[in-house]
Structure 1
Amino acid sequence: MQKIIQTIIFACLAFMPAWVFAHPGHDHSHVGFEAGFLHPFTGLDHMMMALALGVLFYSAVKQWKLVGVLVMSIALVSGFAIGVEHLIPENFAEYGIGLSLLAVAVALWSKSKVILPVATALLVTFHGVAHGAELGQSGHLIGLVAGMVTAMVMIYIVGLGFGKFIVDHIPYGKKIVGALAAFIALVGLA
């Protein structure tokens, strides 16, 4: 039985990049800041992760909440630069996204205040690599990255505010955030 479970887990991990490949089919009629800014608002994966990370960072790692904005911004820009230069193959970036989602899920489950920021930085970096590889040739790179970072920071800050509201003003707020963490972990693993 254990051998069957191991085989299923291995098969799921082998196909994980196809499940998390949320980057094809972008609208290339916009370039620069506008394209970068609009992109996070057009994909459920981006909205959900940025909001959820804000909520989770507020409740789980309070001392990192403002540093998280800086770390996520640097990670996204660094990943984008790596992707534009194709220093990491795009398929590898997709594996990185999937595995870093798994690491975020493990960090949330184990309530690790060290692994969560590191896994989040990896997740954002690999997303940057995937976006840089795909969108890097569309022109106006600085505007594109600036728009994407601006939008993601805005969504993340809204998530921080939402996390503060849940934890401070809703009965059983910590339990609700725990349920959200479990949901995000399941979505990430699915």
Structure 2
Amino acid sequence: MKIQRTKNIYANRLIALILASTPVLAMAHPGHEHGTSGFVAGFVHPFTGLDHLVMAIALGVLFAKFAQRWKVAGMLSFALALIFGFVLGMQGIFANIAEYGIVASLAVLAVALLARQGSVLAVASIALTFFHGAAHGVELAHAGHAALVITGMVLAMALIYAFGLGLGEVIRRYVPHGDKIVAACAAVVAAISLA
């Protein structure tokens, strides 16, 4: 038991070291703008940054642990937080602290993935999703009609979240030692938040 725990600690440290040594992969804000406008700009943007992908997939994996009503409520809350943050971000509100909010959201999400009963942390993770929306609003304000950009962004993030839900269900139902896999996901999320 002790040998296995030591191996897991070393594996988690190795993953964290590798990810911390490649912060450029996070492609965090700004710098991955697109030559497109409107719906396409909003839809493509979440797929171009590892921070967006990790947040949405990990939230899905987290909410796969909860009852069905939590999964739906999680999706709706996630979308509303993104929209609200986007609108304020377009106005330049929270533009200076959006990056810190993104790091905080990933760190809280990592802790929530590791916790056995993480419902409070799950709600905090969704609330902090607001900062992802704010960063999108700052970056994509110039990309055309705001309603189309928001619609594209929310649709893309919802698809990524749904993928995370599916992945979480597969882990929960069919993968032996699924808790350890979720813990490894948490280590990856934490390392990316530090990057």
TM-score, length basis structure 2: 0.78
Q: Which residue of 1 aligns with 2:108?
A: 103
1:168 equivalent among 173, 179, 185: 173
1:123 equivalent among 116, 125, 128: 128
CA deviations 1:145-165 (Å, max 9, x no partner) are 100100110111111111111
Task: Decide whether the 8 Å contact of 1:56 with 1:181 is kept in 2.
Answer: no
Per the TM alignment, residue 172 of structure 1 is displaced from its structure 2 partner at its CA by 1.7
1 or 2, which has the higher helix percentage? 1
Unaligned runs of 5+ in 2: 1-22
- Residues 1:57 and 2:63 are matched in the alignment: yes
Distance 1:100 1:162, change over 3 A: closer
Q: Which residue of 2 aligns with 1:185?
A: 190
Q: How many residues align?
A: 171
What is the alpha-carbon distance in structure 2 between the residues aligned to residue 169 and residue 182 of structure 1? 21
What is the alpha-carbon distance in structure 2 between the residues aligned to residue 175 and residue 38 of structure 1? 32
Unaligned runs of 5+ in 1: 1-17
What is the alpha-carbon distance in structure 2 between the residues aligned to residue 139 and residue 154 of structure 1? 22
Q: Which residue of 2 aligns with 1:77?
A: 83
RMSD over aligned Cα, in angstroms? 2.2
Q: Which residue of 1 aligns with 2:148?
A: 143
CA deviations 1:128-154 (Å, max 9, x no partner) are 111112211322110001001001101
Per the TM alignment, residue 111 of structure 1 is displaced from its structure 2 partner at its CA by 3.5
Task: Decide whether the 8 Å contact of 1:47 with 1:155 is kept in 2.
Answer: yes
Task: Decide whether the 8 Å contact of 2:27 with 2:48 is kept in 1.
Answer: no
Partner letter of residue 144 of structure 2?
G
Q: Which residue of 2 aligns with 1:42?
A: 48
TM-score, length basis structure 1: 0.80
What is the alpha-carbon distance in structure 1 between the residues aligned to residue 107 and residue 61 of structure 2? 18
What is the alpha-carbon distance in structure 2 between the residues aligned to residue 109 and residue 171 of structure 1? 17
